[in-house]
């Protein structure tokens, strides 16, 4: 069927489904293929649900998920010199230096899989980081998941992790099964004091990024104060609109 249709349109006919000529059809296929390589920045305060949405999206679209927070936590766990230096800042809710973060990202983007679609989660977190990213990769679009500060404090302070499976629970919104409750742990930077410090860092260093990306026509804001499924649906809608825009604006 595919061969028959391909032969027909390549010899001057038109594609049956979309009514396109051979050239139009191959251009469309090329553009759709490029779309699989979307490089999206997911912006949001800590606890806005961006990590959860990135995990969903990386499975749905088979893109790689680059989380600087996860990379730093892995470095801390491994006890590397960089991890030990970063830990002090992370425990205090402060941002790790731009230099360290940019080095991590540059190294990660050298992996073979980085040629496919990428979701940047928790990076960039400052305008210098965004400027550096601009030099090493083209960002297709930026989705900002927006949640008010007080809702963030409730979400983060009640967050617990199962160290055996890595599953995240919440004391009120997503209680863990009774039999595993005793083994749950709280991330050391998930206390109210640290959360407020992290929100402060977000407002001074990260929030200006939304305007920075908006000036470049790349920002899409999403209401993140809703269920995981509702936010997921809004994010998918945003990605569909980004893909449509690319389809109509990118060069043949």
Q: Which residues bind to ligand AMP, rule: CB under 6 A?
A: 46, 68-69, 72, 89-90, 93-96, 101, 122-123, 125, 129, 189, 198
| CB closer to ligand AMP, 93 vs 117 | 93
Helix, strand, coil % over all residues of the chain, rounded to 5: 55, 15, 30
- Closer to ligand AMP by Cβ: residue 24 or 83: 83
Cβ proximity to ligand AMP, 47 vs 117, nearer residue: 47
Asked if the bond preceding 77 is cis, omega within 30° of 0, the reply is: no
Residue 45 known to be catalytic: no
Cα distance between residue 201 and residue 198, in whole Å: 5
Query: What tokens does 102 get?
Result: 């940019």
Catalytic residue among 39, 87, 159, 160: 159
Give the SS3 label for residue 92.
Answer: coil
50 is catalytic: yes
Nearest residue (CB) to ligand AMP, 15 versus 146: 146
Contacts of residue 43, Cβ cutoff 8 Å, sequence gap at least 6: 50, 142, 143, 144, 145, 206, 209, 210, 213
Q: How far is the CB of 220 from ligand AMP (least distance, A)?
A: 20
Catalytic residue list contains 125: yes
Cβ atoms of 127 and 43 within 8 Å: the answer is no
**Cα end-to-end span (Å), the chain:** 27
Shortest distance, position 163 Cβ to ligand AMP, whole Å: 16
CA distance 189 to 167: 17
Choose, from 39, 45, 50, 160, the residue flagged as catalytic. Answer: 50
Cβ atoms of 48 and 224 closer than 8 Å: yes
Residue of 56, 87, 160, 198 marked catalytic: 198
Shortest Å distance, C-beta 127 to ligand AMP? 12
Active-site residue, from 39, 56, 87, 125: 125
- State the nearest-atom distance from the C-beta of 205 to ligand AMP, in Å: 8
Provide the annotated active-site residues.
50, 125, 159, 187, 198
């Amino acid at each position: 069927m595919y061969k028959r249709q391909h032969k027909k349109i390549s010899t001057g006919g038109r594609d049956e489904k979309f009514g396109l000529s051979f050239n139009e059809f191959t251009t469309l296929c090329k553009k759709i293929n490029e779309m699989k390589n979307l490089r999206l920045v997911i912006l949001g305060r800590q606890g806005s649900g961006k990590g959860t949405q990135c995990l969903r999206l990386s499975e749905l679209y088979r893109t790689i998920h680059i989380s600087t927070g996860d990379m730093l936590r892995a470095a801390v766990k491994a006890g590397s010199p960089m991890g030990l230096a970063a830990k002090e800042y992370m425990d205090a809710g402060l941002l790790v230096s731009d230099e360290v973060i940019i080095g991590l990202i540059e190294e990660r983007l050298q992996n073979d899989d980085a040629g496919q679609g990428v979701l940047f989660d928790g990076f960039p977190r400052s305008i210098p980081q965004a400027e550096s990213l601009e030099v090493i990769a083209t960002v297709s679009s930026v989705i900002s998941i927006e949640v008010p500060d007080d809702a963030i404090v409730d979400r983060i302070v009640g967050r617990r992790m199962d160290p055996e499976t890595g599953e995240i629970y919440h004391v009120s919104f997503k209680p863990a099964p009774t039999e595993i409750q005793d083994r749950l742990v709280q991330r050391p930077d998930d206390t109210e004091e640290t959360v407020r410090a992290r929100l402060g860092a977000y407002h001074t260093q990260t929030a200006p990024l939304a305007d920075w990306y908006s000036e470049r026509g790349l920002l899409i804001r999403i209401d993140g104060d809703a269920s995981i499924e509702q936010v997921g649906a809004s994010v998918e809608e945003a990605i569909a609109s980004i893909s449509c825009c690319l389809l109509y604006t990118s060069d043949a």
